[in-house]
């Protein structure tokens, strides 16, 4: 009786075998259905999913078509499932997830203000032009580098606090953070516990975010005022 080949952990956890198993689990797909579609036996599909063998090019492409994913995803070269080269390029360049790209792309609404009978203004949304322009304006307005640095520091000090147990030692602030050191000296000390550092950097993160939103709101208000004045001028002419 011939011996059955056993697969190693490396083979079982190879990108193609792992992604194939996950896709089948997500879709609730059995091996026989996939086997019928690509023209192989159920045992062959089982071997693919266990990392014991690989399909040829034609069958590999059929598997990608069956699950509506890219061949790059099956090979583990990208986390973007869809066979969309634009989404893949954005993901690879900006390191954004497919879900994040979909959220940004989903901001496809026009925003405008309409005046009602009570002379009040309200926001009206219609499927015309991208509201993502507001998101773009926010990215331009925000000190993204400062925001992320402070957020990273807050997370880092939180990890320190968790790992230091019930009697956390005091951690010195970054030597190059002159603003933080100055503020702390005004309070009578130059060191903080991890929890205190976390709260400090969280406050700086929130402040940076609020400042960027305020700037964006100011820009939008100016645009709205200009639009309203233009509409009123047009009405007066008619």
Instruction: Look at residue 44 in the predicted model and tell me its pLDDT.
Output: 94
Instruction: Look at residue 48 in the predicted model and tell me its pLDDT.
Output: 93
Pairing of strands 171-172, 121-126: unpaired
| Structure-token match 């949304």, residue found | 125
| Structure-token match 């309409």, residue found | 114
Could you tell me how far CA 36 lies from the centroid of its own chain? Answer: 36
Quick check: helix, strand or coil at residue 171?
A: strand
Instruction: Look at residue 79 in the predicted model and tell me its pLDDT.
Output: 79
Walk me through the domains of the chain, giving residue ranges and CATH numbers: 9-98 (1.10.260.40), 135-237 (no CATH)
Q: Please report, in tens digits, the pLDDT of each residue of the chain (238 residues total).
A: 344 455 567 889 999 999 999 999 988 889 999 999 999 999 999 999 999 999 999 999 999 989 988 888 898 888 777 767 777 777 777 778 878 877 777 776 666 656 565 556 565 666 555 666 777 777 777 888 888 888 888 877 777 666 655 344 444 555 556 676 677 667 665 556 667 777 888 888 888 888 887 877 777 777 667 767 777 777 777 6
Sign of the torsion formed by the C-alpha atoms of 196, 200, 205 and 211: positive
CA atoms of 167 and 85, how far apart (whole Å)? 52
Decide: residue 146, CB within 10 A, 0-12 exposed, 13-18 middle, 19+ buried. Answer: middle
Q: Are 55 and 38 in contact (CB under 8 A)?
A: yes
Instruction: Look at residue 91 in the predicted model and tell me its pLDDT.
Output: 76
Instruction: Look at residue 2 in the predicted model and tell me its pLDDT.
Output: 41
Instruction: Look at residue 172 in the predicted model and tell me its pLDDT.
Output: 52
């Amino acid at each position: 009786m011939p011996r059955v080949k056993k697969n190693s952990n490396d083979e079982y956890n190879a990108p193609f075998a792992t992604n194939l198993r996950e896709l089948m689990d997500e879709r609730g797909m059995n091996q026989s259905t996939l086997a019928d579609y690509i023209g192989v036996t159920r045992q062959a599909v089982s071997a693919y999913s266990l990392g014991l063998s690989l399909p040829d090019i034609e069958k590999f492409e059929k598997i990608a078509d069956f699950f509506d994913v890219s061949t790059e995803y099956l090979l583990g070269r990208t986390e973007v499932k869809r066979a969309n080269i634009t989404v893949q390029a954005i993901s690879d360049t900006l390191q954004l997830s497919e879900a994040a790209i979909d959220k940004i792309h989903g901001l496809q609404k026009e925003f405008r203000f309409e005046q009602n009978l009570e002379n009040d203004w309200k926001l009206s949304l219609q499927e015309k032009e991208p509201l993502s322009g507001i998101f773009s304006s926010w990215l331009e307005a925000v000190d993204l580098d400062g925001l992320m640095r402070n957020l990273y520091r807050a997370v880092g000090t939180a990890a320190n606090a968790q790992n230091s147990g019930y009697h956390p030692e005091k951690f010195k602030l970054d030597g190059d953070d002159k603003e933080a050191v100055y503020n702390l000296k005004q309070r009578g000390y130059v060191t903080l516990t991890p929890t205190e550092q976390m709260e400090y950097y969280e406050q700086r993160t929130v402040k940076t975010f609020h400042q960027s939103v305020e700037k964006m709101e100011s820009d939008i208000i100016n645009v709205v005022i200009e639009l309203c004045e233009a509409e009123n001028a047009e009405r007066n002419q008619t």
